Every structure is written in structure tokens, then in C-alpha cells.
């Protein structure tokens, strides 16, 4: 909160509190206007001054530095001194201020005890304000630190995607080049389009769904080039994809694994990829027949990555079901865009 607003709220609070107190006291017909202005107004200023002396001086000097004994001693001495000052000022005002009604001699101890009670209230208010302010500041700092941690973690997860994808794609193109395939240049061009999207279009937290789906199509086309005429992939998109946005590079890990571990050259069991968009929900379905002896020795970086990103970016907004059997791998993802 800016300093100007802090001053405004402090002035408003004390103005309302003093006005309320004056209104309650003024209901007594025996209390004169002069009595209200001199005693209540003056002593309200003394108590408010006590509040800020503790808030601005004692707490920063002792309590914030964990000098609890010195702080307690300073508070006790301040309260006692405030009680003596209040009593002395009260006696002087009623003795020398013109226009105030005569009153019986003021006894020290009853007035001193009552003034101590008022002082303790204002000291407690200042401590409460300090603790409340510290709590909100600590909460804000913790949120900022958590956001920084999540941002750094997301950046790390995203940085893992490009090398992982590039490694797999280069393996595919190397296979084409090794076979001296005529469509190797086309594969390189597809890879260039894919990398351009990853480098220049994926810097925002979310991208247009149409661009993300085109990216997936380009990847599938690249794999079809590698597999040739034997490629069997059913990729179906239904629903309205315009004006929808999604976190980039979220679905590619599932599709990568389908081509890497699945059988993509059998017309009887093609790789099935289905994306359905309804309102602001995306349903993704993937199923592939597995190669029994094809396992990734490096571990499942892609899937672990996407699961973590889902937890961070779509908390309580997605459902992921994975059915991994001996022969078939099935993945179903329902996501609120």
C-alpha cells in the first residue's frame, strides 16, 4: 500500500473513533462543550501519540530485533510515564483553563489506574497493527517467492521440451538421410516449420489453439514422411477451435510417445489421435499398439514433464487417465481451456 493511502486510512480511522467517543460522551447533559474539546480531544491526542510512539519507535527498536525483554521494559516505563503525564496535565487543565466547571480534587491512584488501562489498549492496538501488517507482508513475500519458483520451474520444464523434441526429430531425419530417401528435404522443411513455431510462437503463457493444432499436424506429417506409405495414423479434430487458447507444447509429449513406442505401420491397429473441443473444454484421446521390445532407456522425460506442467498451469482443471497395458497404451485428457 502506498504511503499516501496509509496516511489516509489512519486519519480516517482515528477521526471516526474520536468522533464516536465524543458522540457517546456528549449524550451526558452534564458534560460541557469546552470539557469535551479540552479533555477528550487533548487526551485522545495523547493516546494516539502513545500508539504511534510504540508503533514507530519501540517496535522497530526492540521488538523487530527480537529484544523482547528490553521491549517489555520500555513499554512498561512508557505506560507509567504516560499515566503520570496524563494526571499532571489533567490537574493543570482543570486548575488553570478558563471556563471549565469546578470539580472535586482529583485523586492520583484511581485516575492513574484508569489511564493505565487506556494506555494498554492503545499499545495493544499498535502491536496488533504491526503483527497484522507483518503477516500480510510475509504472505505477499511468500506468494512472490512461490510465483518466482513456479516461473523458474516452468521455464526449466519448457527448456527440456525443445532438446527432447529435437533429439527425437533428428533421429527420424537421420534415418531418412541414412536410407537416402527422396523426401529428406521435405522432412527438414517440416522440422524447420516446427522449430520456428517452438522458438517464436511459444513465448507466451498461452497460444491460439489453431496454431498448436497445426504444430501437432506438422509433427505428424514429419513422422509420416519418415514412415512412408506404411504410416497408419488417424488424426481427427472436431468442434470449434477458433478463439480458443491453450498452453503451448502440452500435447506433443503424448504424440511423441505414440510414434516412439507404438506401432504406426499396421492398418489394423493405427495410432488413434482424437481432439474434441466443446465450449471451453478440450478432450484429447490417444491410443496405440505397443512395441513389446521398444523401451526408452533414458526414461519418460516428456510425460513427466507434461504432467508437472498440467499440475502447475491447470490445477483442478484437468483429468488425465492413462491405461498402460502389455499391448496397448491409452491416454485420455480432459482440459478446461
* Same-domain check for residues 200 and 331: yes
Please report which confidence band the pLDDT of residue 5 belongs to, taking 50, 70 and 90 as the band edges. Answer: confident
How far is it, in rounded angstroms, from Cα 223 to Cα 288? 15
- Boundary of a domain, candidates 143, 161, 194: 143
Q: Say what the pTM is.
A: 0.55
Mean pLDDT of all residues in 114-126: 84
Task: Determine, yes or no, domain membership for 71.
Answer: yes
How far is it, in rounded angstroms, from Cα 72 to Cα 104? 36
Please report which confidence band the pLDDT of residue 26 belongs to, taking 50, 70 and 90 as the band edges. Answer: low
* Same-domain check for residues 128 and 216: no
Mean pLDDT, rounded, of the chain: 77
Whether the CB-CB separation of 88 and 115 falls below 8 Å is answered with: no
* Same-domain check for residues 187 and 317: yes
Count structural domains, the chain: 2
pLDDT for 274-305, tens place per residue?
A: 999 988 899 999 988 887 665 444 445 567 77
- Boundary of a domain, candidates 118, 143, 168: 143
* Same-domain check for residues 72 and 193: no
Range(s) of the domain holding residue 198: 181-336
Q: Which of 239, 273, 269, 277 is nearest to 256 (CA)?
A: 273
Task: Determine, yes or no, domain membership for 163.
Answer: no
- Boundary of a domain, candidates 143, 171, 193: 143
- Residue 231: what are its φ and ψ, rounded to 5°? -65, 130
Is residue 47 classed as helix, strand or coil in its secondary structure? helix
Mean pLDDT of all residues in 39-45: 71
Q: CATH number for the domain including 276?
A: 3.30.565.10
Q: Highest-confidence range of 155-159, 164-168, 260-264, 285-289, by mean pLDDT?
A: 285-289
Amino acid at each position: 500500500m502506498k504511503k499516501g493511502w496509509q496516511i489516509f486510512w489512519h486519519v480516517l480511522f482515528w477521526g471516526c473513533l474520536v468522533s464516536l467517543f465524543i458522540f457517546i460522551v456528549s449524550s451526558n447533559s452534564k458534560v460541557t462543550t469546552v470539557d469535551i474539546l479540552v479533555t477528550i480531544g487533548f487526551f485522545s491526542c495523547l493516546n494516539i501519540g502513545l500508539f504511534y510512539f510504540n508503533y514507530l519507535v519501540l517496535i522497530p527498536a526492540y521488538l523487530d530485533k527480537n529484544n523482547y525483554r528490553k521491549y517489555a521494559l520500555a513499554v512498561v516505563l512508557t505506560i507509567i510515564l504516560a499515566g503520570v503525564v496524563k494526571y499532571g496535565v489533567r490537574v493543570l487543565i482543570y486548575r488553570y483553563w478558563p471556563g471549565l466547571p469546578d470539580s472535586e480534587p482529583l485523586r492520583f491512584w484511581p485516575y492513574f489506574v484508569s489511564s493505565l488501562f487506556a494506555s494498554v489498549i492503545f499499545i495493544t492496538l499498535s502491536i496488533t497493527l504491526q503483527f497484522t501488517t507483518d503477516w500480510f507482508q510475509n504472505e505477499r513475500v511468500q506468494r512472490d517467492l512461490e510465483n518466482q519458483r513456479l516461473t523458474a520451474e516452468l521455464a526449466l520444464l519448457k527448456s527440456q521440451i525443445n532438446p527432447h523434441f529435437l533429439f527425437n526429430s533428428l533421429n527420424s531425419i537421420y534415418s531418412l538421410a541414412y536410407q537416402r530417401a527422396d523426401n529428406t528435404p521435405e522432412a527438414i522443411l517440416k522440422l524447420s516449420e516446427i522449430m520456428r513455431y517452438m522458438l517464436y510462437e511459444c513465448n507466451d503463457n498461452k497460444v491460439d489453439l489453431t496454431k498448436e493444432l497445426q504444430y501437432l499436424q506438422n509433427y505428424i506429417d514429419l513422422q509420416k514422411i519418415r514412415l512412408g506409405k506404411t504410416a497408419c495414423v488417424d488424426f481427427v479434430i472436431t468442434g470449434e477451435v477458433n478463439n480458443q487458447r491453450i498452453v503451448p507444447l502440452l500435447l506433443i509429449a503424448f504424440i511423441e510417445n505414440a510414434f516412439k513406442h507404438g506401432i504406426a505401420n499396421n492398418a489394423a491397429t493405427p495410432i488413434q489421435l482424437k481432439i474434441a473441443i466443446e465450449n471451453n473444454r478440450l478432450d484429447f484421446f490417444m491410443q496405440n499398439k505397443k512395441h513389446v521390445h521398444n523401451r526408452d532407456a533414458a526414461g519418460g522425460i516428456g510425460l513427466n514433464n507434461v504432467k508437472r506442467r498440467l499440475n502447475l498451469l491447470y490445477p483442478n482443471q484437468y483429468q488425465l487417465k492413462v491405461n498402460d497395458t502389455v499391448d496397448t497404451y491409452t491416454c485420455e485428457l480432459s482440459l478446461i481451456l
